[in-house]
Amino acid sequence: MTVAERSRIDWVPIIDAFSVALGSDRVVRRKEEILVYECDGLTSYRQRPAVVVLPKTTEQVAAVVKICDRFQVPFVARGAGTGLSGGALPIADSVLIVTATMNQILSVDLDNQRVVVQPGVINNWVTQAVSGAGFYYAPDPSSQSVCSVGGNVAENSGGVHCLKYGVTTNHVLGLKVVLPTGDIVTLGGEVAETPGYDLCGLFVGSEGTLGIATEITLRILKAPQSIQVLLADFTSVEAAGAAVSAITSAGIIPAGMEMMDNFSLNAVEDVVATNCYPRDAAAILLIEIDGLPAEVTATGDRIADLCRQNGARTITIATEAEERLRLWKGRKAAFAAMGKLSPDYYVQDGVIPRTQLPYVLKEIEALGDKHGYRVANVFHAGDGNLHPLILYDNAIPGQLEQVEDLGGDILKLCVRVGGSISGEHGIGADKRCYMPDMFSPTDLETMGWVRQALDPDLLANPTKLLPSPRTCGEAAHSIAAVTLPNVEHF
Amino acid sequence: MANVAETLGEVVERDRILPPASLHLPDHLTPAAVVYPATEAELSAIMACAWENSWRVIPCGSGSKLSWGGVGSGVDLIVSTARLDQVIDHAVGDMTLTAQAGAKLADLAPRLAQHNQFLAVDPAYPEQATLGGIVATADTGSLRQRYGGLRDLLIGISFVRFDGAIAKAGGRVVKNVAGYDLMKLLTGSYGSLGIISQLTFRLYPGQDASKTVVVTGAVGEMEALLSALRLSPLTPAALDILSPALANRLGYEGFALIARFQSIAPGVDEQVESLLAMVGPALSAQVLQGAEDEQVWAEVGAALFPMFEEQNEAIVAKVGLPPAKAVTWLDQLPSGSLARIHGGSGIGTVRLAAATADMVKELRRGCTINQGYFTLLEAPLSLKKSVDVWGYSGNALGVMKAIKAQFDPHNCLSPGRFVGGL
């Protein structure tokens, strides 16, 4: 079924208006060209938008949004499309506004440690632009070589180094935003804590439901003088979890602290063959510390001691850049390695209090057994942000639904121990029906006020983030089927 | 008083309701009563009652900052969270603290210190300040350098809405992107969107060693040093630039840069040595440790926010400047101004013995031409009535109004106290 057959909207005048505003070469209508935009990183859901537009400037974004407002058609913003929660998944009969070609670094101010970028700028371009002067941009999602800053802002992305330095919201000073009405406003500014409500803080992580950021002022940091990576391997997951707790309790905040279980580390050894992860280890910890040389050396020694006290078998320490990268390589390739082990994998993103790690990991294993699926655990252990990877085969009917049920059970487990259903991927289309597990109807109503204030006609990414009674009924068995009735399943 | 107190008496125990004299109120606030709920449920009942009766309500904790912000359009009831002072959960291993809004920072600090942890804020009036008041005014100080502002520390919130319902956002884990970030919306909202009842913060580990370097000298050399410091890999926990008058209060001559290094002992020594090596011959430097290291920071805070006002003509303002503009701006202040700017963020505080509306406008212009801001906290009533207190120069007031209309449809929460008369 094509879009045109299903649509109840007359798209001709709308597309004409877009063509006038942007030029017809920036309005994508052909089915074959639209195909690439029908999903984001959450590839199990697909939906073709009615039309895709590629604005180049803030004014063009505003013009497009004003047209959407005039014709009362919903729009979805998309950066690089690497998000994992379906935040940029199009909705039927919607306009997809792609900011990928807004890819200019607008200004670099080293003295004040700020960089202003357009939303389509790729995350690690920021660091590349300032690394010569000894600076870097801290938030580093695993997809940082392909994900856009605009998407990072929408999802409040994290990454390996967010343990010490914070997530995206801690590094965004100001935003130029096109509101759902098409008005252009500046939120925040050049200096933190501008008078008035912290709208910049409210906007970051709002998943495209409050408007579209078209200019982003980022804080950059001075690169540390010294960096050390420790690899510790353990004969039980519980021991690795206990080491994480011991390090945290000792008052040490590493730049990053990552854990991989036996299943994951063998998968990466199979695929990228780093030969540095012992295949018989139940779990490994990768711990990065940074700072001035004396601090790094002393802290590294303390961490090594704490790991040994908690049963670490061997500890490898890397200080040279090449050796550090080698230790990190397997972790960075972990998701991709799963792709080689299994036709498909489903990644979840829950958070737990750090002290609950050993218990939760056992429970996840039990849940996996119950549902009959293998779950690989690769995660940000330092801040309790889990990424269970569930391996399955989408070609087998019913597996996706079963795997989503298992993912849902894992999220409920996270909430039960006092955690959250998302640490860095966002709620998007994937998890909004789990919001009531974490928040009361009053909480959700109050969050709805924010949306009502900025987007009273519910045109900006309307089916994301907050649940609606219509789509997330109590009887929801398969979230996919209930949440996204018009979406094809792949 | 009679009417409000009587009506309230039907909702909460009589001993919760006290006359206005129970707080040290600024002259422009003349409520009928002050109510001190002892539970979140009582707070909820009070707000539902206030809503039914269309009372204008100003929330506070200890009341030490009630004079901050706009003058507003009157008040019927002040709701103090001072008795909501319980620690709900200090999750030691997870390094988080959940406590009621009325808990005092000064009471919590020793409790956290037992586990070598602390809440990384250093607000005005540190002995009185409650968690709720600190968050509602986004008030922290020099620790912003390493630990960020309240927005960076707050990970969960519960608040009582205009209608008495209790809403929450965030959670108790340090990383969480589920739902809108109402923590940030409420931070610095001056009680205009709801009454904060409970907060969860991330905590930080105490540090083994601490030293402060004080560098003094003339404006040009100071600017050069600060610029070099920003480009260096040093990681001070606090880094402030002080105006000559403020430096003088501490016993120093000229502009002063005070940098505090906290880490393991070898780290502190390494950083102190590195900074001293950057100090040129035209500047003089001194290293403070032990009690002196602690004291100098407390003295700066006390000079800017004295517990007892010596004169009530003084003005105190919160300023923001791009960090590279800070020293020049300090140099242009009237002599005698007590001022401190945080080196990393460019946020600061200035205190003048007295000021006219024209002076305020001129000082503000010096900030806004550099994309900064100048917000009056304390000022005589007549001055607050004759100038814009907040100095918001952006174009998003419409969005703020729309949010206020949702969260406080009858405009009863701290009416007129916030930006743009909200």
Evaluate whether A17 touches A51 at the Cβ level (below 8 Å).
no
A175 and A234 in a single domain? The answer is: no
- In a domain, residue A439? The reply is no
Q: Is the pLDDT of residue A14 over 80?
A: yes
What's B12's domain CATH number?
3.30.43.10
Residue B2: band (very low, low, confident or very high) from pLDDT cuts 50, 70, 90: low
Give the residue-averaged pLDDT of B31-40. 97
Region A321-345: mean pLDDT is 88
Q: What is the pLDDT of residue B224?
A: 94
Q: Check if B252 contacts A (Cβ < 8 Å).
A: no
In B36-160, DSSP assigns E strands to: 57-60, 77-80, 87-91, 96-100, 117-118, 154-160
- Given an 8 Å threshold on Cβ–Cβ distance, is B93 in contact with A245? yes
Check residue B311 and give its pLDDT.
60
Residues of chain A with Cβ-Cβ distance to B420 below 8 Å are 196
Domain encompassing residue B166: 87-204
Q: With bands split at pLDDT 50, 70 and 90, how would you rate the model's confidence at A480?
A: very low
Alpha carbon distance B318, B139 (integer Å): 10
Query: Which of A458, A433, A434, A444 shows the shortest CA–CA distance to A76?
Result: A458
Q: Which pLDDT score, from 0 to 100, does residue B390 have? A: 98
The rounded percent of chain B whose pLDDT value lies above 90 is 94
Mean pLDDT for the stretch of residues B228-235 = 92
Q: How confident is the model over B125-137, as a mean pLDDT?
A: 97
Q: B218 and B281: one domain?
A: yes
Q: Are residues B177 and B229 in the same domain?
A: no
A334-350 confidence digits (pLDDT tens): 888 888 888 999 999 99
User: Does residue B11 lie in a domain region?
Assistant: yes
Decide if pLDDT at A477 tops 60.
Answer: no
The token pair that represents B154 in the structure block: 């707050």
Query: In this predicted model, what pLDDT tens digit does every residue of B259-282 receive, in sequence order?
Result: 999 999 999 999 999 999 999 999
Enumerate residues 328 to 347 of chain A having a beta carbon within 8 A of any beta carbon in chain B: none
Asked if residues A426 and A85 have their Cβ atoms less than 8 Å apart, the reply is: yes
Q: What is the pLDDT of residue B368?
A: 97
Closest listed residue to residue B38, CA positions, set B197, B276, B159: B197
Residue B399, in any domain of the structure: no
Give the end of a domain, one of A295, A310, A334: A334
A276 vs A329: CA distance, rounded Å? 10
Task: Judge whether B405 lies within some domain.
Answer: no
> A253: burial class by Cβ within 10 Å (0-12, 13-18, 19+)?
middle
Is the same domain home to B132 and B176? yes
pLDDT at A486: 45
Q: Note whether A152 and A39 are within 8 A (CB).
A: no
Least Cα distance to A93 among A14, A211, A193, A178 occurs for A14
Least confident of A310-319, B21-30, B233-242, B267-276: B21-30
Q: How far is A9 from chain B (nearest CA, A)?
A: 30
Position A290: which residue type? D
CA distance A349 to A369: 19
A192 close to B (CB below 8 A): yes
Q: Reduced to 3 states, what is the DSSP secondary structure of residue A475?
A: coil
Among residues A334, A361, A388, which one ends one of the domains? A334
- Model confidence at A355, pLDDT cuts 50, 70, 90, reads confident
Confidence of residue A7 (pLDDT cuts 50, 70, 90): low
Q: Is the pLDDT assigned to residue A363 strictly greater than 50?
A: yes
Q: Which amino acid is at B124?
A: A
Q: Which of residues 46-65 of B touch A (CB under 8 A)?
A: none
Both A302 and A351 in one domain: the answer is: no
Residues B91, B200 within the same domain: yes
Contact B399 A427 (CB under 8 A): no
pTM, two decimal places: 0.96
- Which residue among A191, A353, A380 sits closest to B346, beta carbon to beta carbon? A191
Q: Residues A100-157: pLDDT tens digits?
A: 999 999 999 999 999 999 999 999 999 999 999 999 999 999 899 999 999 999 999 9
Contact B222, B283 (CB under 8 A): yes
pLDDT band with cut points at 50, 70 and 90 for residue A389: very high
The H or E element containing residue B224 is: helix B219-230
What's the mean pLDDT in B8-16?
95
Residue A456 and residue A418 in one domain: no
Q: Do B95 and A293 touch (CB under 8 A)?
A: no
CATH of residue A269's domain is: 3.30.70.2190
ipTM of the prediction: 0.97
pLDDT of A275 reads 87
pLDDT at B6 over 90: yes
Indicate yes or no: CB of B175 within 8 angstroms of CB of A201: no
For residue B375, give the CATH number of its domain.
Answer: 3.30.70.250
Instruction: Please report residues of B whose CB lies closer than 8 A to that of A248.
Output: 93-95
Q: How far apart are CA A103 and CA A208, in angstroms?
A: 18
Same domain, A241 and A312: yes
A210 has pLDDT over 50: yes
The whole-number pLDDT of residue A337 equals: 87
Asked if the model's pLDDT at residue B5 lies above 60, the reply is yes
Q: Domain holding A369: CATH number?
A: 3.30.70.2740
Q: In angstroms, what separates the C-alpha of A469 from chain B's closest C-alpha?
A: 16
- The pLDDT of residue A234 is above 90: yes
Quick one: pLDDT at residue A334? 86
Boundary of a domain, candidates B186, B204, B222: B204
Here the CATH number for the domain that contains residue A18 is 3.30.43.10
Q: Is residue A430 part of a domain?
A: no
- Residue B13 sits in the same domain as residue B67: yes
Quote the domain boundaries for residue A174.
105-222
Interchain contact A25–B (C-beta under 8 A): no
What would the pLDDT profile of B344-372 be if each residue is shown by its tens digit?
999 999 999 999 999 999 999 999 999 99
CATH for A150? 3.30.465.10
Q: Is residue B155 part of a domain?
A: yes
Where helices occur in B231-312 by DSSP H, the ranges are 244-249, 265-278, 291-304
- Domain shared by A111 and A213, yes or no: yes
Retrieve residue B219's tokens.
Answer: 């404006």
Of B286, B303, B320, the one marking the end of a domain is B303
SS3 state of residue A435: helix
Lay out the sheet containing B315-320: strands in order across.
B284-289, B209-217, B255-263, B238-242, B338-342, B347-352, B315-320, B373-378
Alpha helices by DSSP H, listed for A310-440, are 321-332, 334-341, 357-371, 399-416, 435-438
Q: Which residues on B lie below 8 Å from A186 (Cβ)?
A: 394-396
Size of interface A-B (CB pairs under 8 A): 279
CB contact under 8 A, B174 and A158: no
**Would residue B402 count as lying in a domain?**
no
pLDDT digit string (tens) for A177-195?
999 999 999 999 999 999 9
Residue B211: Cβ within 10 Å count? 21
pLDDT for residue B310 is more than 90:
no
The mean predicted confidence, pLDDT, of chain B is 96
Residue A39: closest CA among A96, A93, A122, A1: A96
In a domain, A434, yes or no: no
- Which residues lie below 8 Å from residue B190, measured CB to CB, with a gap of 6+? B68, B69, B136, B137, B414, B417, B418
pLDDT confidence tier of residue B384, bands split at 50, 70 and 90: very high
pLDDT higher than threshold 90 for residue A490: no
Does B415 reside within a domain? Answer: no
Of the candidates A167, A451, A454, the beta carbon closest to that of B175 is on A167
For A240-256, write each residue's pLDDT tens digit.
988 998 998 888 999 99
Q: Element (H or E) spanning A388, and its range? A: strand A388-392
Please tell me the total count of domains within chain A.
4
Interface of A with B in 148-177 (CB under 8 A): 155-156, 158, 162, 166-167, 169-170
Q: Both tokens of residue B240?
A: 């402030």
Confidence (pLDDT) at B77: 97
What is the DSSP annotation of A98-147?
E-TT---EEEEETTTTEEEE-TTSBHHHHHHHHGGGTEE-----TTTTT-
What pLDDT digit, counting tens, does each position of B180-223 carry?
Answer: 999 999 999 999 999 999 999 999 999 999 999 999 999 999 99
Q: With an 8 Å Cβ cutoff, is A300 touching chain B? A: no
Per-residue pLDDT band at B1 (split at 50, 70, 90): very low
3-class SS of residue B167: strand
pLDDT, tens only, B52-103 = 999 999 999 999 999 999 998 789 999 999 999 999 999 998 999 999 999 9
- Give me the number of domains chain B comprises: 4
Q: What span, in angstroms and rounded, lies between the C-alpha atoms of B331 and B366?
A: 11
In a domain, B8, yes or no: yes
Q: Give the integer Cα–Cα distance in Å for A208 and A85.
A: 13
Average pLDDT over residues B232-253: 96
B395–chain A nearest CA distance, Å: 6
For residue B261, being part of any structural domain is answered with yes
CA distances from A191 to A112, B163, B194, B344, B419 (A): 9, 35, 26, 10, 17
Residues of A in contact with B317 (CB under 8 A): none
8 Å CB contact between B158 and B99 = no
CA distance A101 to A13: 24
Average pLDDT, integer, range B314-325: 96
- Is B206 an 8 Å CB contact of chain A? yes
Mean pLDDT for A77-100 is 96
Place of tokens 């400047």: B321
Position B86 scores a pLDDT of 98
Fill in the amino acid letter for A3. V
The answer to whether residues A263 and A390 touch, using CB atoms and an 8 Å cutoff, is no
Tell me, yes or no, whether B181 and B269 share the same domain.
Answer: no
